[in-house]
Each structure stands twice: as structure tokens, then as C-alpha cells.
């Protein structure tokens, strides 16, 4: 993987001293060029300033391309709509990890490897017992994922390609098992072991919803919807949680600890926690007659309330994942015969917001989180599990991005600088001399 040095440069001129600095422009395969500022401080003694990294490229990557203005999302060049419609989650996982869609043999070997890593060390079950029963499943998942590094020492050497591969497969395989255990623990039911005769989505549903007292029938509609939801949440360029994983990994931390850091970042309501927040918001709105009040609150600069499930740092058009989920919402609820008034409410809210000048001017469209919660609710997941499901899917993207970073020989430890606005140097004042 490499950038292409274009023969174009950007010239910075200091209009006080007249000094000039030429900075090279780097081009990728598609998308905007970037200004290479790696030598800027050495040449000018100045840093750039970009809180939130809205205009800053942090790495080279070939996994995911997003065109926010056009509402385009590609994974290794394949449009998300085609992957959601024609592929399955483990095949997308293979694509993100390895760069190409697998042939039959590659696919069978990968599925076999993942299937045979789904069990967790039996002592991990004891780890769960340390949590209060009312612990949020994300708190449990974050803690237990970090604990994996205490159980799988034989796949923590990041410089060993085989260990990196084993750790990647272990994380993809075990995350559904840990997620299901977090759910079962929170409702006081016994854990279910994974079943090797089930596919990834079916196995997850079985581990979550089966009880020892009776056979669990897997509904193919729900299994298909689960697999599609996993595909839609698999990876998304350098979002907050992925950047967290990369930054943690840049210090050489083991992959289990890095993924635990990603889970922690995803939990925030501005990020992966938004799907849970959307459902809570729709329940709070309650009725179509209250929609305008909440939209007005979201527009009020003095009110911290924001319309969850709307807006995105990159998409200034409809999030393509939201469009797929919107369609799936209707399909899943119709097939399940579920009449959920929250779907009607969400559609009404979307219609009103998309006509509102504030949302039009700020290019605020529904994002991936706006509809996902409604489907997950119809699939009988509690709201507290929504972000856990996001983390299960995003583990594929996180570990693929981590692997890409480790294998990028230009990568260095991440260490941003700052614009210092604190006190200049001053001498210590002894206690008896302070006011
Ligand atoms: C995800 O990065 C990714 O790719 C993330 C993700 C992924 O797959 O990894 O796509 C998943 O996190 C989706 C986003 C889920 N979050 C939410 O739905 C929470 C609600 N959305 C907002 O918090 C917000 O839109 C963000 C956090 C998503 C984006 O924030 P930005 O890019 O920092 O944008 P901003 O806060 O600067 O907003 C620009 C303007 C502001 O108004 P001004 O200060 O310019 O006057 O738009 C306003 C904001 O106040 N605005 C909203 C709004 N989102 C932005 N106003 C009302 N409701 C909203 N939802």
C-alpha cells in the first residue's frame, strides 16, 4: 500500500517574514489529495491545529472509502449496498482483513477457523461473576475483552504475523460469545456455549436467546437481518473508536487491549451509543404531536439536546447504511408481523427534520443509528444491548485497521501536539506565602 507523490505542492508564505515553505501533495487511489505536513514543524517551527481531526488524515488505508457528499461507502472498493445484499458477514470480514473476496477454499478455511475459536477459556465465566447483575452490558464487554489478554498470551506478540492472525481470528470469533454472555449475565440466565453447526449470526442468536428448558428455533428472517446489521456496522474508516484502536496499537499494546479501548470509545452517545440513545429519544417523544417540540430543542443553541441518529462528521448526505436499514426495518417488521409505533414515529420525525431549514442548511441526515435500534427492538434485544451488537460487528473493522497499521512500515507511535494556552513558566509559591 502506498501514496503517490504528485508533482503538485502547496506553498505556505509567512506574510510577515516573506519566508515560503513548499509542502508536497499526496494522492490516493480515489478521494481528495492530502497536504503532507510531516516536515512542517522542522521547516517552520509551527504546528497545525485541528481539534476533532475534521480535516486531518491520520494514516494510509485501503479498507474503507467514504464520500460524504455523495453518500458513498466502499469496503475494498465494493459498495456497501452490494455487500449487504449479496455477501455475508464472515465474507466481508475476510475481505476487510485480506483485501479480496475469498474463493471457495479460502472462504471455507476462514469460516472453519472462526467457528473453531468461538469458545472462551472456561475461567472467563468466573470473571463475569464479579459484575453486579445490573451492570450495563457494554461495561461488562469492555472489561472482559481487556481480560482476554490475560488468557491468550500466545497471541499477543504483535511482531509475529502468525500470532497477529490468531489474535484477529480469536477476537472476531469470541466477541459474539462474550456479548451473549454479557446479555445472559444481565438477565440472570445461564450462558449458552457456541454451536459449530450454526453460522455466525445464527450462533449469536442462539447464544443470546436459547434457554436450557426448551429447543431454540432460529427464525431465518431474524438471522438474515442480524447478519445484514453486522455487515452494515463492520467498518467505517477512521471514526472515533477505530482511531482509538489505532492510537492504542501504535504504542505496541496487544490487540485485546486495543479492542477493549475501541469498545470504550464506541460506547459514547455521540458515536456507537447513539442507537441506544435513538430508542430512548423516540420513547421520550412518545407521540407524533411532540416531534416538533423535540426538533425545536435540537435546533436551540442553548439546549444541549441533539436529535440522536441524525448528523455525521463525514456524511453530508444520506448515510447509505441508514437507507439499507430503513428498507430492512419495513421488511423485518412486516415478516415478523410487528406493528411498532416507534417506526411510524421515526419515519414522521425523519420527514419533518429533512424538510426543516436548520437540518437542510447543516446537512443533517439520518445516520446508521437512526433505524438500527428499531430492528433490534423487533428482534427482542433490550436497548442496553444495541451498542454491544455494534461492537461485535465493528470488531472486524477494528482488528482489520489494527492489522493494516501494524503492517504499515511508515507507522509511528501516535503523539499529537497542542496549542498551549496555560500559564507561562513561574516559580513555586510555598504554602505560607499563598493568599
Ligand atoms: C456514528 O465517524 C463515524 O463514522 C461514526 C459512525 C461509524 O460507523 O463509526 O458512522 C457511527 O457514530 C454515527 C453518529 C451517531 N451519533 C449521533 O447520532 C449523535 C447525534 N449526532 C451528533 O452528535 C453529531 O452529528 C455527530 C457527533 C455525529 C457529528 O458531530 P460533528 O461532526 O462534530 O458535527 P458538529 O457537532 O460540529 O455539528 C455541526 C452543526 C452544529 O451546529 P453549529 O455549531 O454549526 O451551529 O450541526 C449541529 C451542531 O449543533 N448538529 C446537530 C446534530 N448534529 C449536528 N443539531 C441537532 N441534532 C443533531 N443530531
- Res 22: pLDDT: 94
Question: What is d(CA 333, CA 374) in angstroms, rounded to the nearest whole number?
Answer: 9
Written as nine digits, the cell of 311 is 448528523
For the Cβ of 295 lying below 6 angstroms from any atom of ligand 1, the answer is no
For the Cβ of 275 lying below 6 angstroms from any atom of ligand 1, the answer is no
* Closest atom of ligand 1 to CA, residue 358: 56
What is the whole-number distance in angstroms between the Cα of residue 52 and the centre of ligand 1? 12
For the Cβ of 371 lying below 6 angstroms from any atom of ligand 1, the answer is no
302-311: b (≥16 Cβ within 10 Å) or e: eeeebbbbbb
- Res 338: pLDDT: 86
Give residue-wise pLDDT tens across range 50-82: 999 999 999 999 999 999 999 999 999 999 999
For the Cβ of 298 lying below 6 angstroms from any atom of ligand 1, the answer is yes
Give residue-wise pLDDT tens across range 316-327: 988 999 999 998
In this predicted structure, the answer to whether residue 260 has a pLDDT above a threshold of 60 is yes
Top pLDDT among 154 and 28 is at 28
- Res 158: pLDDT: 86
Q: pLDDT-based confidence at 211, cuts 50/70/90?
A: very high
In this predicted structure, the answer to whether residue 5 has a pLDDT above a threshold of 60 is no
Pocket test for ligand 1, best of 96, 291, 311 (most atoms within 8 A of CB): 311
Q: Provide the whole-model pTM.
A: 0.94
Q: What is the mean pLDDT of residues 398-411?
A: 95
Evaluate whether 315 touches 367 at the Cβ level (below 8 Å): yes
- Res 1: pLDDT: 56
Evaluate whether 235 touches 64 at the Cβ level (below 8 Å): yes
Question: What is d(CA 353, CA 315) in angstroms, rounded to the nearest whole number?
Answer: 16
Decide if 369 is catalytic: yes
- Res 340: pLDDT: 84
Taking alpha carbons only, the member of 140, 161, 146, 335 closest to residue 254 is: 146
- Res 4: pLDDT: 58
What percentage of the chain exceeds 70 in pLDDT?
Answer: 99
In this predicted structure, the answer to whether residue 279 has a pLDDT above a threshold of 60 is yes
Question: What is d(CA 164, CA 234) in angstroms, rounded to the nearest whole number?
Answer: 19
Up-side HSE of residue 91: CA atoms within 13 Å toward CB? 17
Tell me the β-bridge partners of 74: 65, 79
Question: What is d(CA 91, CA 89) in angstroms, rounded to the nearest whole number?
Answer: 5
Question: What is d(CA 228, CA 189) in angstroms, rounded to the nearest whole number?
Answer: 27
For the Cβ of 271 lying below 6 angstroms from any atom of ligand 1, the answer is yes
Instruction: State how far the alpha carbon of 77 is from the alpha carbons of 236, 311, 377, 416, in Å.
Output: 13, 24, 32, 30
What is the whole-number distance in angstroms between the Cα of residue 313 and the centre of ligand 1? 6
Q: pLDDT-based confidence at 8, cuts 50/70/90?
A: confident
SS (H, E, C) 233-247: CCCCCCCHHHHHHHH
Q: Where are the beta strands (DSSP E) in 56-126?
A: 64-67, 72-75, 78-79
In this predicted structure, the answer to whether residue 24 has a pLDDT above a threshold of 60 is yes
For the Cβ of 311 lying below 6 angstroms from any atom of ligand 1, the answer is yes
- Res 7: pLDDT: 73
Pocket test for ligand 1, best of 312, 322, 356 (most atoms within 8 A of CB): 312
Question: What is d(CA 364, CA 369) in angstroms, rounded to the nearest whole number?
Answer: 13
Question: What is d(CA 6, CA 391) in angstroms, rounded to the nearest whole number?
Answer: 38
* Closest atom of ligand 1 to CA, residue 367: 13
Up-side HSE of residue 433: CA atoms within 13 Å toward CB? 4
Give residue-wise pLDDT tens across range 106-128: 999 999 999 999 999 999 999 99
What is the whole-number distance in angstroms between the Cα of residue 314 and the centre of ligand 1? 9
For the Cβ of 307 lying below 6 angstroms from any atom of ligand 1, the answer is yes
Decide if 233 is catalytic: no
Sign of CA pseudo-dihedral 349, 351, 355, 359: positive
Amino acid at each position: 500500500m502506498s501514496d503517490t507523490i504528485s508533482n503538485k505542492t502547496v506553498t505556505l508564505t509567512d506574510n510577515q517574514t516573506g519566508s515560503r515553505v513548499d509542502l508536497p501533495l499526496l494522492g490516493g487511489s480515489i478521494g481528495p489529495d492530502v497536504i503532507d505536513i510531516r516536515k512542517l514543524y522542522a521547516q517552520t517551527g509551527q504546528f497545525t491545529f485541528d481539534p476533532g481531526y475534521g480535516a486531518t488524515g491520520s494514516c494510509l488505508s485501503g479498507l474503507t472509502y467514504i464520500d460524504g457528499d455523495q453518500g458513498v461507502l466502499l469496503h475494498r472498493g465494493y459498495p456497501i449496498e452490494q455487500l449487504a445484499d449479496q455477501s455475508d458477514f464472515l465474507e466481508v470480514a475476510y475481505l476487510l482483513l485480506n483485501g479480496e473476496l475469498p474463493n471457495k477454499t479460502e472462504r471455507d478455511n476462514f469460516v472453519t477457523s472462526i467457528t473453531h475459536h468461538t469458545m472462551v477459556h472456561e475461567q472467563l465465566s468466573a470473571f463475569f461473576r464479579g459484575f453486579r447483575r445490573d451492570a450495563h452490558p457494554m461495561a461488562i464487554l469492555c472489561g472482559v475483552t481487556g481480560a482476554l489478554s490475560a488468557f491468550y498470551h500466545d497471541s499477543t506478540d504483535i511482531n509475529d504475523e502468525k500470532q497477529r492472525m490468531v489474535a484477529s481470528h480469536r477476537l472476531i470469533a469470541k466477541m459474539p460469545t462474550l456479548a451473549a454472555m454479557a446479555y445472559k449475565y444481565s438477565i440472570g440466565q445461564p450462558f449458552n456455549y457456541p454451536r459449530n453447526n450454526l453460522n455466525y449470526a445464527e450462533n449469536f442468536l442462539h447464544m443470546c436467546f436459547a434457554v436450557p428448558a426448551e429447543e431454540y428455533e432460529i427464525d431465518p428472517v431474524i438471522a438474515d437481518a442480524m447478519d445484514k446489521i453486522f455487515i452494515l456496522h463492520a467498518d467505517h474508516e477512521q471514526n472515533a473508536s477505530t482511531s482509538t484502536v489505532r492510537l492504542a496499537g501504535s504504542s505496541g499494546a496487544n490487540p485485546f487491549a486495543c479492542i477493549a479501548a475501541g469498545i470504550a470509545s464506541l460506547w459514547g452517545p455521540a458515536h456507537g451509543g447513539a442507537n441506544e440513545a435513538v430508542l430512548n429519544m423516540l420513547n421520550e417523544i412518545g407521540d407524533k404531536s411532540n416531534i416538533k417540540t423535540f426538533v425545536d430543542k435540537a435546533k436551540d443553541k442553548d439546549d444541549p439536546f441533539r436529535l440522536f441518529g441524525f448528523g455525521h462528521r463525514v456524511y453530508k448526505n444520506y448515510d447509505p447504511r441508514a437507507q439499507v436499514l430503513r428498507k430492512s426495518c419495513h421488511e423485518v417488521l412486516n415478516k415478523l408481523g410487528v406493528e411498532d409505533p416507534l417506526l411510524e414515529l421515526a419515519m414522521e420525525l425523519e420527514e419533518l427534520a429533512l424538510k426543516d431549514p436548520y437540518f437542510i442548511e447543516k446537512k443533517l441526515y439520518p445516520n446508521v443509528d437512526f433505524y438500527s435500534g428499531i430492528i433490534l427492538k423487533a428482534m427482542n434485544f433490550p436497548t442496553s444491548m444495541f451498542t454491544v451488537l455494534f461492537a461485535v460487528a465493528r470488531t472486524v473493522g477494528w482488528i482489520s485497521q489494527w492489522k493494516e497499521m501494524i503492517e504499515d512500515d511508515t507507522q509511528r507511535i501516535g503523539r499529537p501536539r497542542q496549542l498551549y494556552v496555560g500559564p507561562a513558566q513561574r516559580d513555586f509559591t510555598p504554602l505560607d506565602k499563598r493568599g
